[in-house]
């Protein structure tokens, strides 16, 4: 279908006719941010910091993408703060990431409603699939090997993570890199996201965005999205 015609198609048609579906991970494929939050708090305790991020604090901090950047932003907001070197941040993030993997591997974080069905339907239609996320390859591996099996990566034509690009979301870098790897035009694809930062990132890359509201971003401004759903099970079968 011509890209300009796709731009005005209803969301079901937009999804069906896209050359590729590009998925965000955290909050979109699965409700992972609550586990990230618990993993951060575990790392703080292990490191002897009296920091404990409750859901309200974490919701606000999630406006900063990237776990290392988020910890740095929190540290800079504190009036009285212990010294925290880049090495400290890296060690905290290593502990956090290891604990996040342990939590995910318990199977307590399934894929969100409609995700498995959409992945299967896309494959049947011969559509290409990609991932464009701020998190790390290790976190993607932990989540999707648990949810889709050890051969999960074979389903995706491109997998671009936060450390693969210079600037994290809301910069467009991760989506531009995904388009380059797919060798597709932005208007021929659809990005599936859950946050305002993700919407801005994909939109800056020129990609139409389908939003599925998630736990920490339900009240974000999604007026620039092509469509906003509660979850992917709302797409017609
Ligand atoms: C969400 C993020 C990540 C996660 C934490 O990524 O911003 O930073 O919150 O993971 P997306 P890390 O929604 O783009 O998938 O600690 O590995 O950053
Ligand atoms: Mg997300």
**Which ligand 1 atom sits closest to the C-alpha of 169?**
14
**What is residue 237's predicted lDDT score, i.e. its pLDDT?**
52
**Can you give the pLDDT at residue 9?**
73
Q: Checking DSSP bridges between strand 128-132 and strand 158-160, what pairing results, if any? A: parallel
Query: Which pLDDT belongs to residue 126?
Result: 97
Q: Which ligand is nearest to the CA of 193?
A: 2
**Separation of 67 CA from ligand 1 center, angstroms?**
6
Q: Which residues line ligand 1 (CB under 6 A)?
A: 24-27, 33, 36, 65-67, 133-136, 139, 162, 169, 195, 198
CA of 136, closest atom in ligand 1: 17
Distance separating alpha carbons of residues 86 and 13, to the nearest angstrom: 47
| Span 168-206, pLDDT tens digits | 999 999 999 999 999 999 999 999 999 999 999 999 999
pLDDT in tens, 86-105: 999 999 999 999 999 999 99
Residue of the CA atom closest to atom 10 of ligand 1? 135
Residue 30: Cβ-neighbour burial (10 angstroms; 0-12, 13-18, 19+)? buried
pTM: 0.95
> How far is it, in rounded angstroms, from Cα 139 to Cα 142?
5
Instruction: Indicate which residue's Cα is closest to atom 17 of ligand 1.
Output: 135
* Alpha helices per DSSP H over 163-220: 173-182, 196-204
Return d(Cα 215, Cα 234) in angstroms, integer.
17
Within the chain, which residues score under 50 in pLDDT? 1
Q: Which active-site residues does the annotation give?
A: 24, 26
What is the model's pLDDT at position 1? 45
């Amino acid at each position: 279908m011509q890209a300009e015609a796709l731009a005005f198609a209803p969301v079901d048609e937009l999804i069906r006719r896209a050359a590729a579906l590009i998925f965000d991970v955290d909050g979109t494929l699965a409700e992972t941010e609550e586990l990230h939050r618990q993993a951060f708090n575990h790392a703080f305790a292990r490191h002897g910091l009296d920091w404990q991020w409750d859901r309200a604090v974490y919701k606000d901090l999630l406006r900063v993408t990237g776990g290392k950047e988020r910890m740095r932003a929190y540290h800079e907001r504190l009036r009285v703060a212990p010294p925290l070197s880049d090495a400290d941040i890296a060690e905290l993030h290593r502990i956090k990431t290891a604990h996040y993997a342990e939590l995910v591997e318990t199977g307590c974080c399934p894929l969100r409603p409609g995700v498995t069905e959409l992945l299967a339907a896309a494959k049947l239609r011969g559509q290409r699939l990609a991932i464009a996320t701020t998190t790390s390859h290790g976190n993607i591996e932990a989540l999707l090997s648990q949810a889709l099996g050890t051969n999960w990566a074979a389903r995706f034509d491109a997998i671009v993570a936060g450390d693969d690009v210079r600037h994290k979301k809301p910069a467009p870098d991760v989506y531009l890199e995904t388009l380059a790897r797919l060798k597709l035009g932005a208007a021929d694809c659809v990005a599936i996201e859950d946050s305002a930062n993700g919407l801005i990132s994909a939109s800056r890359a020129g990609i139409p965005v389908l939003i599925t509201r998630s736990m920490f971003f339900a009240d974000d401004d999604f007026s620039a999205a092509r469509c906003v759903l509660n979850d992917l099970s709302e797409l017609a079968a």
